[in-house]
Amino acid sequence: MLAQLDWRDRMRRRTIIGFAATLAVLASVLPLIGLWGILQRQAENAKQQYVADYASWTAERVGRTLDNAKRALVRAQTIDRMDCSPEHMKQMGQVAADAHSIDDVGYFRDGELVCTRLGKISPPVPAHAADMDLGQGFSLHFAERPILFEGKPRIELRLGDYGVIITPGRFTDLVGYTDMTLGLATAQGHVLELTGPADPQAIKALISGQHFGTDARYGFAARPVAGLVAFALIDKEQAGNAVAVDWRYIMPVSVAISLALIGIIIWISRLQLSPEKTLEQAVRNREFIVQYQPIIELATGRCIAAEALVRWRQKDGRMLPPDQFIPLAEASGLISPLTDLVIEIVTTEMSSLLRGNADLHISINIPARDMESGRFLPVLAAAVAKAGIDPSQIWIEVTESGFMNAPTATQAVETARAAGYRVAIDDFGTGYSSLSRLEGLPLDALKIDKSFVDVIGHDAARSVVTSHIIAMAHELKLAMIAEGVETPEQEASLKNANVQFGQGWLYAKALPAEQFQMFYQSRSGNVPT
């Protein structure tokens, strides 16, 4: 009897223990299962909001770009000369310089394009018919091809006798969408801009009025703007992988439930970071590197310098070029700390090579705002002194917009040159100024923009502009560096025109510091040409 009671007691204890164990397992597993469902819903909602935000930001960007172009056209109507004279083209150049979204301004007479800010068009080119009426006299043209530039058709906005070419990519140049495709299309299905691959069916759904949804592969959102459709697409498979990664961290123990909630909150907050916050974090975390594109002395083939070019290294190893983040850095006030970081990297990486080669120099791009204020000069002076290099081995490159305020620009250039640095105007011909307006600036060099080098050997009429720039630069005794030299024919033509220096893929792409040093050692002596 006692044995039977003992057996029953053991069985009861085992039952209780098993039941408690089952409850413990259920208490751990059920909340985890529930949490997994919550996380799945949160991930989906975050993804949907993420796509919707970028569609809205793209629409805002499109609206601002069109407004900027419209203001430029309205201003063009006030130009008091319409005879394609130098004064007329100068005024068109000023209109282009003051707008941030246009590449060129053209003047039409009797339905034909007769001149742009860069020169007369001979013979005149018949104007294309409007593709879209934006109202108030404005019309949009989708297939315009700039007269003085090679490349894909551009988007043009026209009013009265003037038209402006929209800068390529300006409608969708946002930062932070590494897993996102942004685009702009018409209501009839014509895609105007696209930053990456996109499902045609998803675009078709967006254009048809389904402004939010999913298909077999993409989640998408769209926003109407000015008769057009701005949209964003995200790959659902990539988003699903991100969920799996976060779930892995909450699996081991029940305590991970709390940790997982924190992780998901952090993950969602990262997804919803604004482009400005993303860039701010990148600057703070020093996610940028510098690559160096060699500059060659055309007469000897020697490497005598390099231009420092900043790159944004992404977590997946990709490198974003500066045109994808510099506009945001300038607009958000982050350009100055980014410039300081570039100065620090260049003077640290190149210090030994520069100290050992007195005839070598490195060019650093300085934003227009910093150039006019001179804010960067104490930073540069401290970095140069710490590296033990001569100030003359640092060249400062400033785009034309940096010389918009001539008196302030002159003082800034004089201050920089008095400190021992050399100053060059970068990408000449793409902004507002002419060489005649630079006569009063104490510059050392001028960089001929790649667009003017591209026409060499391809279009004799267009090459006239390039020859004019070179001739006037010689008159002003400015050293010249031709950008984008890619063929021996371009090199030969530039040498014959007595252009002293060149850079481009004919010699080398932008190189990491160690590779540039090896390149320099191989090209620092006289090379048969």
Is residue 528 domain-resident? no
Helices 256-271, 236-248: crossing angle, 10 deg rounding = 150
Question: What is the pLDDT at residue 431?
Answer: 46
Report which of residues 407 and 139 the model is more confident about.
139
- Can you say whether the dihedral through the CA atoms of 403, 407, 408, 410 is positive or negative? positive
Residue 403 burial (10 A CB sphere; 0-12, 13-18, 19+) = buried
Is residue 19 domain-resident? no
Q: How confident is the model at residue 4 (pLDDT cuts 50, 70, 90)?
A: very low
Shared domain for 203 and 300, answered yes or no, is no
Q: Is 37 helix (H, G, I), strand (E, B) or coil?
A: helix
CA distance 503 to 482: 6
CA distance 136 to 323: 33
Domain end among 237, 258, 292: 237
CA distance 135 to 158: 11
Question: What is the pLDDT at residue 343?
Answer: 95
Report which of residues 200 and 118 the model is more confident about.
118
- Can you say whether the dihedral through the CA atoms of 58, 61, 63, 65 is positive or negative? negative
Is residue 376 domain-resident? yes
Question: What is the pLDDT at residue 276?
Answer: 80
Averaged pLDDT, 71-79: 91
Shared domain for 296 and 224, answered yes or no, is no
Shared domain for 502 and 403, answered yes or no, is yes
Amino acid at 56: S
User: Residue 64: which of 102, 94, 92 has the closest Cα?
Assistant: 102
Give the residues across from 287 on adjacent strands: none
Instruction: Classify each residue of 430-452 as buried b or exposed e, where b means 16 or more C-beta atoms within 10 Å of its C-beta.
Output: bbbbbbeebeebebbbbbbbbbb
> Does an H or E element contain 59, and which?
helix 2-76
Shared domain for 329 and 465, answered yes or no, is yes
Shared domain for 359 and 479, answered yes or no, is yes
Across 267-382, the runs of DSSP E, i.e. the strands, are 288-297, 303-313, 319-320, 361-365
Max Cα-Cα span within the chain:
122
- The answer to whether residues 295 and 305 touch, using CB atoms and an 8 Å cutoff, is yes
**Residue 404 DSSP label:** S
Identify the domain containing residue 136 by its residue range: 34-237
Lookup: tokens for 319: 């490198």
Domain end among 207, 237, 267: 237
CA distance 359 to 304: 7
Give the range among 52-66, 170-184, 413-427, 511-525 with minimum mean pLDDT.
Answer: 170-184
Q: What is the CATH number of the domain that holds 349?
A: 3.20.20.450
Amino acid at 419: A
Amino acid at 57: W
Q: How many domains does the chain have?
A: 2
Shared domain for 131 and 195, answered yes or no, is yes
Lookup: tokens for 459: 């279009």
Q: Which residue has the tokens 């299962």?
A: 33
Shared domain for 41 and 162, answered yes or no, is yes
> Does an H or E element contain 181, and which?
strand 180-186
**Cβ neighbours of residue 22 under 8 Å, at least 6 residues apart?**
none
Lookup: tokens for 50: 């993420």
- The answer to whether residues 413 and 423 touch, using CB atoms and an 8 Å cutoff, is yes
Is 502 a residue whose pLDDT tops 60? yes
Shared domain for 378 and 480, answered yes or no, is yes
Is residue 272 domain-resident? no
Q: What's the chain's average pLDDT? A: 80
CA distance 447 to 436: 16
Helices 256-271, 2-76: crossing angle, 10 deg rounding = 10
Where helices occur in 400-512 by DSSP H, the ranges are 406-418, 450-454, 460-475, 488-496
Is residue 131 domain-resident? yes
Shared domain for 152 and 286, answered yes or no, is no
Question: What is the pLDDT at residue 269?
Answer: 47
Domain end among 237, 257, 291: 237
Q: Which residue has the tokens 């919803």?
A: 272
Is residue 317 domain-resident? yes
CA distance 76 to 156: 14
Shared domain for 67 and 150, answered yes or no, is yes
Shared domain for 289 and 212, answered yes or no, is no
Shared domain for 292 and 351, answered yes or no, is yes
Share of the chain above pLDDT 70, in %: 74
Provide Rg for the chain, Cα atoms: 30
Q: Is 67 helix (H, G, I), strand (E, B) or coil?
A: helix
Q: What are phi and psi of 273, to 5 degrees?
A: -60, 135
CA 338, chain centre distance (Å): 14
Averaged pLDDT, 109-125: 89
Is 286 a residue whose pLDDT tops 70? yes
Is residue 263 domain-resident? no
Sheet (strand 102-109) strand order: 119-126, 112-116, 102-109, 162-166, 154-159, 138-144, 132-135
Whether the ω angle into residue 146 lies within 30 degrees of 0, i.e. cis, is: no
Q: How confident is the model at residue 437 (pLDDT cuts 50, 70, 90)?
A: low
Q: Is the pTM of this model over 0.75?
A: no
Share of the chain above pLDDT 90, in %: 33
Q: Are strands 288-297 and 191-194 parallel, antiparallel or unpaired?
A: unpaired
Question: What is the pLDDT at residue 394?
Answer: 95
Q: What are the respective helix, strand and coil percentages of the chain, to the nearest 5? A: 50, 25, 30
Is residue 244 domain-resident? no
35: alpha, beta or left, given left = phi > 0 and alpha = psi -120 to 50? alpha
CA distance 488 to 522: 20
